[in-house]
């Protein structure tokens, strides 16, 4: 494989020295870019975009071509590929988000779920990873990803998105045996899926625990973090002669940073409700930190965006171990020029912290 020309993202995740704070954006290949919307129209729909390795490569590269400041590419895919490969029948309703043709509601439903084979059942994702990696040609590292078991379970039990997770939480409390079986199957599936991505060329991986923060403190430990810990312990941590960093991101997980930092990952993603300086004091000796600007700051004028970038950099302070990102994904209505101002500000303002 081609040597990396820019490895500051990987170096920062391992708390090694860098020249500037590396930056990427969750959902950086997405609807805020006109070129993405054109590719999606050409593909026909979102799933056709995901399931065609050439289209997935095309949209993964688009933000890199527009913003030379980006220090990483992230695989273009969806967190719900695993439940789809388990036979749940993923589809997207306009204005409604992801839906499943089948829902999981009983122990028998869960027992019948297969554990997908990454090559046979999710080969289109592995093909996309290897295609993107070749196209990158060492430009920046490639991030692979998956949803967390708890997050995937909520979609499978609810049949789609949910505001209150009533069915999932009812199962958790009424039938914890069934919920644990579902989460265990998902943990096995995520482990093999991420390892497949690493073998196909992903150089770092992130687990998106989007809905873990909706649990109580006790339920989070038992039904979300325990399974992410299990995944981390089963991941390939070195490939192609270098370490493969692992990032855990629990949205609204700021209360539990110490527990998450003990899960064995190299870095924690922070949402915007955390103060990054306080997070560094709490766990920064154990892990790198990724984040954490409020995505809606990108609606403001470039000078206001720059000021907020400066505030977050100052809060983190000097030294490596920080990957700048948004506290969640970039939103579709953001002006691409504002995203560019954000990325430029990170590199321009962070050099002073790496003398």
Q: Which residues pair with 147 in a beta bridge?
A: 208
**Residue 19 known to bind ligand:** no
> CA 155 to CA 148: how far, in whole Å?
11
- Give 26-74 as a 3 state SS string: CCCCCCCCHHHHHHHHHHCCHHHHHHCHHHHHHHHHHHHHHCCCCCCEE
Each residue's pLDDT tens digit, 175-228: 999 999 999 999 999 999 999 999 999 999 999 999 999 999 999 999 999 999
Query: Helix (H, G, I), strand (E, B), or coil: what is residue 210?
Result: coil
**Per residue in 131-183, pLDDT tens?**
999 999 999 999 999 999 999 999 999 998 888 999 999 999 999 999 999 99
Residue among 32, 36, 67, 155 flagged as catalytic? 155
Q: Does domain 8-354 have CATH number 3.60.10.10?
A: no
Q: Is 133 a catalytic residue?
A: no
Spatial contact of 33 and 49, defined as CB atoms under 8 Å apart: no
Return the domain boundaries, the chain: 8-354
Annotated binding-site residue? 354? no
Please indicate whether residue 99 is annotated as part of the active site.
Answer: no
The verdict on pTM exceeding 0.85 is: yes
CA distance 277 to 213: 21
Check pLDDT > 80 for residue 46: yes
User: How far apart (Å, rounded) are the C-alpha atoms in residues 221 and 200?
Assistant: 31
238-239 and 246-250 beta bridge pairing? unpaired
Question: Would the annotation count 210 as a binding residue?
Answer: yes
Cα–Cα nearest to 161, from 227, 211, 219, 87 = 211
Sequence-separated (6 or more) residues with CB below 8 Å from residue 41? none
In angstroms, the Cα distances linking 306 to 155, 231, 311, 349 are 37, 37, 9, 9
User: Residue 27 catalytic?
Assistant: yes
Spot the catalytic one: 71, 78, 121, 127: 78
């Amino acid at each position: 494989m081609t040597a990396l020309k820019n490895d500051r993202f990987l170096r920062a995740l391992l708390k090694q020295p860098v020249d500037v704070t590396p930056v990427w954006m969750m959902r950086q290949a997405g609807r805020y870019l006109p070129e993405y919307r054109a590719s999606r129209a050409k593909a026909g729909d979102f799933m056709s975009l995901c399931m065609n390795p050439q289209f997935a490569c095309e949209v993964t590269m688009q933000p890199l071509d527009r913003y030379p400041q980006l220090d990483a590419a992230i695989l273009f895919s969806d967190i719900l590929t695993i439940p789809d490969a388990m036979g749940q029948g993923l589809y997207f309703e306009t204005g409604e988000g992801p839906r499943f043709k089948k829902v999981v509601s009983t122990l028998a439903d869960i027992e019948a779920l297969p554990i997908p084979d990454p090559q046979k059942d999710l080969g289109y994702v592995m093909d996309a990873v290897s295609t993107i990696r070749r196209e990158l040609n060492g430009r920046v590292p490639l991030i692979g990803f998956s949803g967390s078991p708890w997050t995937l379970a909520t979609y499978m039990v609810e049949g789609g998105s949910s505001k209150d997770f009533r069915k999932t939480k009812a199962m958790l409390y009424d039938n914890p045996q069934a919920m644990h079986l579902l989460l265990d199957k998902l943990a096995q599936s995520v482990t093999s899926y991420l390892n497949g991505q690493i073998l196909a060329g992903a150089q770092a991986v992130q687990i998106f625990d989007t809905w873990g923060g909706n649990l109580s403190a006790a339920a989070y430990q038992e039904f979300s973090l325990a399974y992410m810990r299990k995944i981390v312990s089963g991941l390939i941590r070195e490939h192609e002669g270098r370490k493969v960093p692992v990032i855990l991101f629990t949205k609204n997980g700021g209360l539990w940073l110490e527990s998450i930092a003990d899960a064995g990952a190299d870095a924690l993603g922070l949402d915007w409700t955390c103060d990054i300086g306080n997070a560094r004091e709490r766990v920064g000796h154990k892990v790198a930190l990724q984040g954490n600007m409020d995505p809606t700051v990108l609606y403001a004028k470039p000078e206001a965006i720059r000021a907020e970038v400066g505030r977050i950099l100052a809060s983190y302070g000097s030294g490596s171990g920080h990957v700048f990102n948004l506290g969640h994904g970039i939103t579709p209505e953001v002006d691409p020029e504002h995203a560019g101002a954000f990325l430029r500000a990170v590199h321009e303002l962070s050099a002073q912290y790496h003398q």
